[in-house]
Amino acid sequence: MAHGPATLADGWGKYISRWVFTTNHKDIGTLYLWFSFAMFIMGGAFAMIIRAELFQPGMQLIKPEFFNQMTTMHGLVMVFGAIMPAFVGLANWLIPMMIGAPDMALPRMNNLSFWILPFAFAILTSTLFMEGGGPNFGWTFYAPLSTTYAPDTVNYFIFGVHIMGASSIMGSINIIATVMNMRAPGMTYMKMPLFVWTWVITAFLLVAVMPVLAGAVTMMLMDINFGTSFFDAAGGGDPVLFQHVFWFFGHPEVYIIILPAFGVVSQIIPTFSRKPLFGYSSMVYATAAIAFLSFVVWAHHMFTVGMPIAGELYFMYATMLIAVPTGVKVFNWITTMYRGSLTFETPMLFSIAFVILFTFGGFTGMMLSIAAADMQYHDTYFVVAHFHYVMVAGAVFSGTAAVYYWLPKWCGKMYDETMGKVQFWIAFIGFNITFMPQHFLGLAGMPRRYADYGLQFADWNMVSSIGAFMYGGAQILFLFNVIRTIGWGKPTDDPKVWEGAEGLEWTLPTPAPYHTFSTPPKVK
């Protein structure tokens, strides 16, 4: 117990073994977070290539074949490589500290679930350098474009998805086991911080739907290599079946991405409002309601596929319903701020931007849920704008907020407030310049996943590209700020760090020692 973690002073060999063999939740959390940031930069680079090509009409830099690989890889890397691991990293760092546990319940599995991830992404990315190129069928990989008509490298893609799925399932089982078994005495379910609540619910979603994704890619594998016809109309199969299976995974997946983000924001807003979270129990119930609804609305992604009208109506009504629990959350956050004593440090700025921009994305979501109007919106830039408002301004902004918020606790150093705010404003403005015009593009008729477009779309595409480069620049600044903090930030040993912070993790010393809560705290 007494030994600390190996540092560079112990030599490279020991230092590397520490990270490879670690079963410490803080180390694994750190690994997840750095991995996710690396993927974020890579996925971002793909996006820059896309936006550079779309800067003007015509094909200037790349060929359509490579463009399609870029859109596909961008989506896959961002969803599975950047956002999901980022929140697993936060879960690893924070859940034990929030519930008063010494570590995660299944530490060795924790190690495994992280270390298979780099291999999954190495396999996936290596296809870009292979004959035939990387996956080029979109992150939704609709059959038969992804089966009969796919490059041979699709088999690597399938293998990669399987590994990612295994990693996610193990990660979620671990979280569920930890929360169910390792809470400190007195830490009842309804006392758990909201971040823990949203993550448990997310973990159940993951365990339920990742196997469905695995099923979908396995059916693809069979169709491609073993002569089955699940998705091949010529053999009696049905390409639409693929979409049902995919979206049965895919819609819960978008909530897997956003629920932990809700949790993060529900921790940060009370801190900087100096006031407890409003409507704690309704937040928990709303999260559960959203999770439940997410299983029964999947075909709202398929309104144009030609479903019978009864199906179409059902999926429309069910989707509209999601607005109710989502609204409850937004109202709760705002009411938490009401009659608080507000300050606007960087984490708070990102959280407020989250509330505003996520709500905006919720509004466009409402519009998309109206099937008759979706016939016009579907597969246009309007949808691209919608999901970037909820996923980038939602998940990525809240992830950024989380890093600024807990970084001082993790490393005992304070980030530079001015630099944090500079990053925030560049990101906020850049984000809106990028994605606001995409609403107009979509409404005016520009389909998504287009390598080239007519002249009537030229201006807004140029604006959007400029915004994208700006937003990309903000991420480089983020990296700089984090490294600068860890290396040269102002040391702090205030356990609370923030005046208004509440919760078990803030009772620990700063920086958090390698082992914490070896004896469980008592929660009143």
Annotated catalytic sites, by residue? 74, 103, 139, 167-168, 251, 253, 255, 266, 300-301, 326, 329, 448
Residue 442: CB minimum distance to other proteins, A: 9
Residue 503: CB minimum distance to ligand HEM, A: 25
Residue 438: CB minimum distance to ligand HEM, A: 13
How far is residue 44 from each of residues 20, 50, 51, 78, 394, measured CA to CA in Å? 27, 10, 10, 8, 16
Q: 223-262: which residues touch Cu ion (CB under 5 A)?
A: 251
- Report the chain's terminal Cα–Cα distance, integer Å: 28
Identify what 450 binds: ligand HEM, Cu ion, other proteins, none; CB under 5 to 8 Å per kind: other proteins
Asked if residue 511 has a cis previous peptide bond (ω within 30° of 0), the answer is yes
CA pair distance 418, 434, nearest whole angstrom:
24
Nearer of residues 119 and 139 to ligand HEM, judged by Cβ: 139
CA pair distance 324, 332, nearest whole angstrom:
12
Identify what 339 binds: ligand HEM, Cu ion, other proteins, none; CB under 5 to 8 Å per kind: other proteins
Identify what 387 binds: ligand HEM, Cu ion, other proteins, none; CB under 5 to 8 Å per kind: ligand HEM
CA pair distance 161, 121, nearest whole angstrom:
9
Residue 296: CB minimum distance to ligand HEM, A: 13
Structural tokens at position 265? 């924001």
Residue 434: CB minimum distance to other proteins, A: 11
Identify what 149 binds: Cu ion, ligand HEM, other proteins, none; CB under 5 to 8 Å per kind: other proteins
Identify what 258 binds: ligand HEM, Cu ion, other proteins, none; CB under 5 to 8 Å per kind: ligand HEM
Identify what 394 binds: Cu ion, other proteins, ligand HEM, none; CB under 5 to 8 Å per kind: ligand HEM
Binding site for ligand HEM (CB under 6 A): 140, 254, 257-258, 300-301, 319, 322-323, 326, 362, 365-366, 368-369, 374, 377-378, 383, 386-387, 390-391, 394-395
Residue 469: CB atoms within 10 A of its CB come to 16
Instruction: Classify 519 as helix, strand or coil.
Output: coil
Residue 205: CB minimum distance to ligand HEM, A: 12
Nearer of residues 138 and 521 to other proteins, judged by Cβ: 138
**Distant-in-sequence, close-in-space partners of 522: CB < 8 Å, separation ≥ 6:** 184, 185, 186
**Distant-in-sequence, close-in-space partners of 390: CB < 8 Å, separation ≥ 6:** 254, 258, 358, 361, 362, 365
Rounded to the nearest 10°, the torsion over CA 284, 290, 296, 299 is -160
Nearer of residues 334 and 367 to Cu ion, judged by Cβ: 367
Rounded to the nearest 10°, the torsion over CA 467, 265, 322, 244 is 70
Nearer of residues 255 and 315 to other proteins, judged by Cβ: 315
CA pair distance 400, 259, nearest whole angstrom:
15
What residue ranges bind Cu ion (CB under 5 A)?
251
